[in-house]
Amino acid sequence: MTNPLLSDWDTPFDLPPFDAISDDDFAPALDAALEAAKANINAITATTDAPTFTNTIEALEVSEALLGRVLGTFYAVAGADSNPEREALQRDFAPKLSAYGSWMSSNQPLFSRIETLWDQRDTLDLTPEQSRVLMLTRRGFVRSGALLQGDAADKLRDVKSRLSVIGTDFVQNLLADEREWFMPLDADGLAGLPDFVVATARAAGKEKDAGGPVLTLSRSLIVPFLQFSDRRDLRQKAYEAWTARGANGGKTDNRAIAAETLKLRADRAQLLGYETFADYKLETEMAGTPAAVRDLLMQVWEPAKESALADAKQLERMLHADGWDGPLEAWDWRYYSEKQRKKLHDLDEAELKPYLQLDRMIEAAFACSNRLFGLTFEEIDAPKYHADVRLWDVTRNGKHVAVFIGDYFARGSKRSGAWCSAMRSQQKLEGDIRSHVINVCNFAKPEDGQPALLSYDDARTLFHEFGHALHQMLSDVTYESISGTSVARDFVELPSQLFEHWLEVPEVLSEFATHAQTGEPMPEDLLKRMLNAATYDMGFSTVEYVASALVDLGFHEGPPPADPMQKQAEILEEIGMPHAIRMRHATPHFAHVFAGDGYSCGYYSYMWSEVMDADAFAAFEEVGDPFDPALAKRLEATILSSGGSVDAAELYTDFRGRLPGVQALLKGRGLAQDS
Task: Please tell me the predicted confidence (pLDDT) of residue 512.
Answer: 97
The pairing of beta strand 419-424 with beta strand 435-443: antiparallel
Name residues whose C-beta falls within 8 Å of residue 48's C-beta, 6 or more positions apart in sequence. none
Q: What are phi and psi of 374, to 5 degrees?
A: 75, 20
**Measured CA angle at 549 (ends 572, 615), to 5 deg:** 130
C-beta separation of 63 from 44 below 8 A: yes
Sign of the alpha-carbon torsion through 147, 153, 157, 159: negative
Instruction: Of 189-198, 340-349, 486-495, 632-641, give the lowest mean pLDDT range.
Output: 340-349
Distance (Å, rounded) from C-alpha 499 to C-alpha 462? 10
Task: Please tell me the predicted confidence (pLDDT) of residue 629.
Answer: 98
**Measured CA angle at 309 (ends 588, 581), to 5 deg:** 15
Burial 203-215 (b: 16+ CB within 10 A, else e): bbbbbbebeebbb
Confidence of residue 412 (pLDDT cuts 50, 70, 90): confident
Confidence of residue 532 (pLDDT cuts 50, 70, 90): confident
Mean pLDDT value of segment 463-492: 97
Percentage of the chain exceeding pLDDT 90: 93
C-beta separation of 639 from 652 below 8 A: yes
- Nearest Cα residue to 55 out of 68, 40, 67, 70: 40
Task: Give me the sheet containing 376-380, strands edge to edge.
Answer: 376-380, 390-396, 399-409, 435-443, 419-424
- Is the pLDDT score of 592 beyond 70? yes
The pLDDT mean for the chain works out to 95
Confidence of residue 670 (pLDDT cuts 50, 70, 90): confident
636 tagged catalytic: no
Task: Please tell me the predicted confidence (pLDDT) of residue 674.
Answer: 54
The pairing of beta strand 376-380 with beta strand 435-443: unpaired
Mean pLDDT value of segment 50-72: 97
Residue 165 burial (C-beta neighbours within 10 Å; 0-12, 13-18, 19+) = middle
Residue 656 neighbours by CB distance under 10 Å? 18
Helix, coil or strand: residue 658: coil
Name residues whose C-beta falls within 8 Å of residue 516's C-beta, 6 or more positions apart in sequence. 354, 355, 357, 451, 453
Distance (Å, rounded) from C-alpha 220 to C-alpha 196? 11
Distance (Å, rounded) from C-alpha 309 to C-alpha 301? 12
Residue 469 neighbours by CB distance under 10 Å? 29
Task: Please tell me the predicted confidence (pLDDT) of residue 673.
Answer: 66
Mean pLDDT value of segment 166-177: 95
Residues in the chain: 675
C-beta separation of 62 from 393 below 8 A: no
Mean pLDDT value of segment 376-404: 97
Distance (Å, rounded) from C-alpha 160 to C-alpha 98? 6
- Nearest Cα residue to 218 out of 177, 257, 188: 177
Task: Please tell me the predicted confidence (pLDDT) of residue 494.
Answer: 96
E-strand stretches of 513-653: none
Task: Please tell me the predicted confidence (pLDDT) of residue 675.
Answer: 41
Residue 507 neighbours by CB distance under 10 Å? 10
Percentage of the chain exceeding pLDDT 70: 99
C-beta separation of 497 from 615 below 8 A: no
Q: Which of 316, 338, 465, 480 is catalytic?
A: 465
Quick: pLDDT tens for 126-167: 999 999 999 999 999 999 999 999 999 999 999 999 999 999
Residue 622 host element (H or E): helix 605-623
Q: What are phi and psi of 441, to 5 degrees?
A: -130, 175
Helix-helix angle 23-46:84-105, to 10 degrees:
10
Domains of the chain: residue spans and CATH:
4-147 (1.20.1050.40), 182-245 (no CATH), 274-346+536-668 (1.10.1370.10), 353-515 (1.10.1370.40)
- Is the pLDDT score of 635 beyond 90? yes
Burial 57-66 (b: 16+ CB within 10 A, else e): bbbbbebbbb
Quick: pLDDT tens for 11-55: 999 999 999 999 999 999 999 999 999 999 999 999 999 999 999
Mean pLDDT value of segment 577-588: 97
pTM assigned to the model? 0.92
User: At 211, which amino acid appears?
Assistant: G
